[in-house]
Amino acid sequence: MLSINELTYAFPGTGPIFQKINLRVEPGEFVSVIGPSGSGKSTLFKLITGLLEPDQGEIGIKGVYLGARLGKVGYMPQKDLLLPWRTVLDNVMLPLEVEGRRGSLPEVQKWLSRFGLSGYEKAFPDELSGGMRQRAAFLRTIMTGKELLLLDEPFGALDALTKRNMHSWLLGLWEELQKTVLFITHDLEEAILLSDRIYLLGGPDVQEWKVGLSRPRNSEQIYQPEFIELRRELERLIHHEN
């Protein structure tokens, strides 16, 4: 679905953030990217979406390495960036408008209720709670119709309880979503709970770590000894790297 080969990138006037890194995401996978602040996670996403171009190396989406990447993946930025003057429905329909497509309203309605937003179609973003705004932004990303979704810390700004709810909700939705997700987070627990694999950013090279948990999962698993052991292992890996 996504392959990044020998990617090198530097902001003008600074040392490289990425030096020949490789990364791969298979169709249907949920892959997290973790790393300390400043390790270039968001930059990586901007490179994949095509907002930035790599200095060296190549980025392929569905096996296509050439041509513009803009408009090829669904991107959910760190802030929800819902347009404040549009209703929830109009915000969610934005990707369709941009592409000049007409969405079928019943289909959108179905999604809205699946995202816990039915009844709020006509509400404006400032009337929603943080969790709802995040879900609306997530739904907008899904409405791009792209198979690969890049989610940049979607739950980063939520309080612990709301975050927990979002995890259970997302795990329950995951099977029917049929998408491929690349997910940025600071939260190790979240990364383990949600992903199939985790990439560690920040060292000279990226490190890959498989999450040995079967699906379907539920958010209660974080209390199981098996999960806690995984978390300890991941923390050791991070400390070792630094």
Minimum CB–partner distance for residue 125 and other proteins (Å): 6
Minimum CB–partner distance for residue 126 and other proteins (Å): 4
The residue (of 20 and 122) whose beta carbon lies closer to other proteins is: 122
- Select from 74-82, 185-193, 214-222, 223-231 the region that touches other proteins (CB under 8 A): 74-82
Minimum CB–partner distance for residue 82 and other proteins (Å): 9
The residue (of 25 and 192) whose beta carbon lies closer to other proteins is: 25
Q: Which of 35, 125, 154, 202 lies at the binding interface for other proteins (CB under 8 A)? A: 125
Chain positions 75 to 114 lying near other proteins, rule: CB under 8 A, are 75, 77, 79, 81, 83-86, 94-95, 97-99
**73 is a site residue for other proteins (CB under 8 A):** yes
Please, are residues 128 and 120 in contact by the beta-carbon 8 Å criterion? Answer: yes
Binding pattern for the stretch 139-158 against other proteins, x by CB under 8 A and - elsewhere: -----x--------------
